[in-house]
Amino acid sequence: MLNKTIFLLTLFVIFCSLYLLRFMAISETEIIPNKNYSIQGRLSSIKQISDNKWQLKMGGIFIETDKFSNFPQIKLGRHIQVAGRMEKRVINNFYSEFWLINPEITLISESAVNDSFPSRVIYLFIEKIDQFRRFLEKIYERLLPEKEAVLLAGIVLGSQKRLSANLYQALQQSGTLHIMVASGMNVIILGKIVLVIFLKRWRRPIALIASVFTILIYIFLAGAQPPIVRAALMGSLAFASQVFGRQQWGGWVLMLVLAMMLLFSPELLFQVSFQLSAAATAGLIFISPMLDGVLGKVKESFSFGFSAVFGFFKINLTETLAAQLAVLPLLSVHFGQFNLLTILPNLLIAPIIPLLMQGGLVLLALGSISSFLGQVFAWAIWAPLRYIIVIVELFGQVKWLTIYWYWPWWLAFWWWGGLALLMKTRRRNN
């Protein structure tokens, strides 16, 4: 036991040393704040913040502009030139970002770009995926009312289409904003649910293939956004190790994948999407088995009829709740709002989210084939969407139970430590 502890501590020290060296290397920059710069590159991210405000990313530079709507021809992956004053934003004591605020934007013709052939192919692929995702969003907009369409696009596609101010505030107030964040948490939950369902009837390799195939479809539909791709990678490898090995193998593989990602891109450690994906995956690996045992005993206490109904929702509830328990500290650390009743709305909508993800995929398939079939199915899927909106708006009005407090990191680690102690105690008792 002592030798194992020493070995793990040695690995941890080695990793921290390598990480610090990598982080110091990428932190060295020749960019000087408050100076004018003219930079060319390809757009790797486009996000609408409000009616006339957009947030773009080009390489390691962030751009905030209210002029983007003047350039409808500029899409994800296109080559542009931006010129303006560089601003440095300090995120914390270790990490800063460089921003151009309302720069002059010029679209560069592809014939004038000297990118290599592989780079052109990659960005052309990204552009086509973005166009396809916009096409899918229009299917939802055509078949569903505005609120329901925006909500479903966020859940299924990780769409960054702007929510109405009232709905956004209600999601934030009720502690359910995470269902609209393209963190990859949804794809991990969906992959785990498919894996669990197939394991009940099929052999392990078939179950794993079904899970990975579902995740790949989701990645493609969601526009292959980096947070979702990273989440899919860590989730798929961790689940595979669990299927063909032991439960703790999933944890070791997850830590190995996270270490490799951080050594390759040290700045990921400070990105909320990366933190949420890592925490959600850890929750599905470690917390899910404990909740499965608890909910299994609850299921046995019901009569046969209600037990069957509860069993139908049990898988979705187990996996979703496990992920939410793991990410709750991060939501409180970064968003600074904690509703004392937040667990209740999350419990009420948790079993619905995976079903909506599956139903949303079916609606896309039917809507692209036939408007009539799509509209018929849209009537059925409207009900759970309306249910979520009602729950969110209802609990979003309970302001007197909301604590406006950014959790300190030490409290988040206390939360995770308490969960670890609880799982260890339960495993020992079993």
In whole angstroms, what is the distance from residue 28 CA to residue 30 CA?
7
> Range of 23's domain?
1-30
Q: Which two tokens stand for residue 242?
A: 């669990």
- Give domain status of residue 52, yes or no: yes
In whole angstroms, what is the distance from residue 97 CA to residue 88 CA?
6
Dihedrals φ, ψ of 48, to 5°? -85, 120
Residues 100 and 183 in one domain: no
- Inter-axis angle of helices 226-244 and 247-264, nearest 10: 150
Q: Which of 132, 222, 212, 240 is nearest to 181 (CA)?
A: 222
State the pLDDT at residue 225: 67
Residues 174 and 268 in one domain: yes
* C-alpha of 122 from chain center: 23
In whole angstroms, what is the distance from residue 136 CA to residue 406 CA?
37
Q: Which CATH number fits the domain that encloses residue 71?
A: 2.40.50.140
Residues 207 and 166 in one domain: yes
Residues 208 and 65 in one domain: no
In whole angstroms, what is the distance from residue 143 CA to residue 375 CA?
6
**What 3-state DSSP class applies to 114?**
coil
Query: Structural domain tally of the chain?
Result: 3
pLDDT digit of tens for each residue in the chain (430 aa)? 557 777 778 888 888 888 888 877 776 666 777 788 888 887 777 776 666 777 888 777 888 887 766 666 667 777 788 888 888 877 766 677 888 888 888 777 766 666 666 666 766 777 777 778 788 888 888 999 888 888 888 888 766 566 677 777 777 777 777 676 545 566 777 777 777 778 777 887 788 888 888 777 777 766 666 677 777 777 777 777 666 666 667 778 788 888 888 888 888 888 877 888 888 888 888 888 888 777 777 666 665 555 555 665 666 677 777 877 888 888 788 876 666 666 677 778 877 877 888 888 889 889 888 888 889 899 999 999 999 989 888 887 776 666 667 788 888 899 999 888 888 887 777 6
Q: Which two tokens stand for residue 285?
A: 């690996």
Residues 310 and 389 in one domain: yes
pTM of the entire structure?
0.71
Residues 75 and 93 in one domain: yes
Q: Residue 169: exposed, middle, or buried by beta-carbon count in 10 A (0-12, 13-18, 19+)?
A: middle
Q: Which helix (H) or strand (E) holds 325?
A: helix 304-335
Residues 23 and 57 in one domain: no
- Give domain status of residue 416, yes or no: yes
- Give domain status of residue 92, yes or no: yes
**What 3-state DSSP class applies to 255?**
helix
Q: What is the DSSP letter of 164?
A: P
Are the C-beta atoms of residues 250 and 285 closer than 8 Å to each other?
Answer: yes
- Give domain status of residue 24, yes or no: yes
Q: Which helix (H) or strand (E) holds 253?
A: helix 247-264
Scored b (16 or more CB within 10 A) or e, 27-42 reads eeeeeeeeeeeebeeb
State the pLDDT at residue 81: 82
Q: Which helix (H) or strand (E) holds 100?
A: strand 96-101
- Give domain status of residue 141, yes or no: no
Contacts by 13-19, CB closer than 8 A, 24 or more apart: 15/259, 15/263, 18/263, 19/262, 19/263, 19/266
Residues 87 and 217 in one domain: no
Specify the residue for token string 């105690």. Answer: 425
- Give domain status of residue 199, yes or no: yes
Residues 203 and 311 in one domain: yes
Residues 105 and 253 in one domain: no
- Give domain status of residue 138, yes or no: no
Instruction: Report the relative pairing of strands 79-90 and 104-107 from DSSP bridges.
Output: antiparallel
Q: Which of 115, 105, 50, 54 is nearest to 80 (CA)?
A: 105
- Give domain status of residue 90, yes or no: yes
Residues 3 and 52 in one domain: no
Residues 199 and 216 in one domain: yes
In whole angstroms, what is the distance from residue 387 CA to residue 397 CA?
16
